[in-house]
């Protein structure tokens, strides 16, 4: 009697093709719009290549570990946000048996620019000694009144970080974080003892404040629940305090098309604050795991999983 367990490897080409079919169906039937100049087909081809090299912390291929639904939903989430791995706008990480996507700094900028009301975005780091003053506008919203960086302070400790979202109507929204708030945010991420936060603190601080700005801004926007739900879901992937049920679907033979048809409904629910509080112990353990060996590293201003980084 042969008791050997046969590994089931997900075919990424099959899933990417199914996701592309679903996207085309959404465009035709639901009026779903992709960003101008964005090619879902090219982004999925890039994801197809990247996925074959993604591994968990035990060096097991993600395509052998992750469930088919999580891979399909992650790819659809990527396309909805108009992101591409080829442009280092996003990267894939394994948590337990679930594939998830996280955005880079560039990815969050690209996503925010997708919102109808956004014209431009910037994020800046304030070092000790820089001239920095905040105040309030006529609506009593906190704004940056003055910021004068100095090259002499470039190597000093970070004091603050702020992001400014310029709106099409000529107004703007500022989000400001102290270094203590940034450290508290980093302490909640799943990548514990992350050396990136130490070695590339400026880039990581900008990314952190930009993510906070995005989370606060999009939930007050008039854009579709599909887009805002996808943005929120990706942002929450990084943090331990966000819980979701990642228990595998019992019937893994169900078609990817069936899985994807339920994606829009779930994303809309998440955008409206409806959470999935599953009671599965397996789901809880998976969501509490540290990123499976995929510690993100900056290389020439981009974020890459550890397996792609030089040792």
Q: What is the mean pLDDT of the chain?
A: 76
Which pLDDT belongs to residue 244? 41
pLDDT of residue 280: 38
User: What Å distances lie between residue 153 and 104, 129, 181, 201, CA to CA?
Assistant: 26, 6, 21, 14
Reported pTM: 0.68
Cα gap 201→190, rounded to integer Å: 17
Q: Judge whether residue 286 has pLDDT over 50.
A: no
112 or 133, higher pLDDT: 133
Alpha-carbon distance of 113 to 118, in angstroms, equals 6
pLDDT in tens, 5-20: 445 567 777 888 899 9
Question: What's the pLDDT tens digit per position in 57-82?
Answer: 899 999 999 999 999 999 999 999 99
Higher per-residue pLDDT: 203 or 44: 44
List, for residues 259-274, the tens digit of each pLDDT value.
Answer: 555 555 555 555 555 4
The rounded percent of the chain whose pLDDT value lies above 90 is 39
Residue-wise pLDDT for 159-212, tens only, equals 999 999 999 899 999 999 999 999 988 887 655 555 555 556 888 899 899 988
Q: In what order do the strands lie in the sheet with 172-178?
A: 118-127, 158-167, 172-178
């Amino acid at each position: 009697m042969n008791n050997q367990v046969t590994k089931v490897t997900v075919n990424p080409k099959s899933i990417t093709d199914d996701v592309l079919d679903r996207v085309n169906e959404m465009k035709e039937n639901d009026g779903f719009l992709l960003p101008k100049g964005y090619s879902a087909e090219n982004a999925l081809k890039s994801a197809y290549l990247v996925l074959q090299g993604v591994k968990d912390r035990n060096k097991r291929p993600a395509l052998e570990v992750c469930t088919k639904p999580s891979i399909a939903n992650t790819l659809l989430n990527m396309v909805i946000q108009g992101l591409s791995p080829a442009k280092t706008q996003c990267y894939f990480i394994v948590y337990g048996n679930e594939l998830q996507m996280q955005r880079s700094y560039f990815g969050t900028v690209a996503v925010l620019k997708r919102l109808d009301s956004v014209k431009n975005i910037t994020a800046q780091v304030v070092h000790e000694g820089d001239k920095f003053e905040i105040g309030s506008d006529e609506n009593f919203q906190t704004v940056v009144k003055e910021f004068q960086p100095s090259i002499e302070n470039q190597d000093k400790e970070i004091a603050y970080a702020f992001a400014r979202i310029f709106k099409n109507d000529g107004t703007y929204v500022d989000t400001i974080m102290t270094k203590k708030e940034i450290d508290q945010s980093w302490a909640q991420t799943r990548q514990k003892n992350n050396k990136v936060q130490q070695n590339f603190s400026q880039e990581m601080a900008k990314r952190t404040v930009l993510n906070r700005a995005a989370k606060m801004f999009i939930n007050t926007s008039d854009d579709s629940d599909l887009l805002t739900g996808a943005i929120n879901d990706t942002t929450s992937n990084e943090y331990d305090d966000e819980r979701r049920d990642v228990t595998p679907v019992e019937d893994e033979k169900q078609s990817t098309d069936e899985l994807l048809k339920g994606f829009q409904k779930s994303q809309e629910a998440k955008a409206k604050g409806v959470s999935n509080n599953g009671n599965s112990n397996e789901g809880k353990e998976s969501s509490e795991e540290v990123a499976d060996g995929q510690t993100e590293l900056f290389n020439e201003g981009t974020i890459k999983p550890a397996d792609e980084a030089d040792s």
